Amino acid sequence: MYSLKGSIYNFKKKRSKYYADERYVTQQLLKSLPHRQYAVISDLLLPNDGQFRTSQIDHLIISIYGIFCIETKSHKGWISGSKAHRLFKQILFRNSFRLTPNPVEQNNSHIRTVRGLIGERLKAPIVNIVVFPSAEKFFINGYEDVGSVNDMIESVFRYGEKVYSYEEASKMIEVICQFNIKKPIEHVKHVQRVRAVHV
């Protein structure tokens, strides 16, 4: 029987503490998702024609059940999110901090990049998931698929109807990996462009 098991990728090479949550999410995805049906691709840098010219995607799952784009945030404490106000906040030691950019909207820009590269092969909307592995409590109003690592896994498993054949999923994996920019200097340039706007 055909399998995606040979198509499990993890391009994460960074070892600083800042990226510990991303590595942890990758590990949990690989541990929880059956390798025959799901491929996990981490730390992608894909070209686009937007403001930053590239999209850095923490985790992309390509499976026979659909495609899932995951944004990992390392914020601790309590997380509140309001779709009506397009606003996320971190509440830590009785202090409130606005999260900029809005992680759901940030991930939507990543999804647009993936959608543009996959093109007509896409049969269903790409699922937007935002995960906070280190947060303690969530107060989310209006947004779906935002929460803990366990919430993330549940969100993925909620999609159980087959959408793609193994051949179709494997082809999309191949396309994404062909476009992935692996040069470390390009990752540095991407971070610099983003920080010039949001910091």
Q: For 119-154, what is each residue's pLDDT tens digit?
A: 999 999 999 999 999 999 999 999 999 999 999 999
The answer to whether the CB of 38 falls within 8 A of the CB of 31 is no
User: Mind listing the pLDDT tens digit for each residue in 48-97?
Assistant: 886 667 899 999 999 999 999 999 999 999 999 999 999 999 999 889 99
Determine the residue type at 197.
Answer: V
pLDDT at 21: 93
Name the burial class of residue 34, with classes exposed (0-12), middle (13-18) and buried (19+) by CB atoms within 10 angstroms of its CB. Answer: exposed
pLDDT averaged over every residue in the chain:
87
Residue 130 tokens read as 């935002």
Confidence of residue 199 (pLDDT cuts 50, 70, 90): low
Question: For residue 184, what pLDDT is reported?
Answer: 61
pLDDT of residue 73: 95
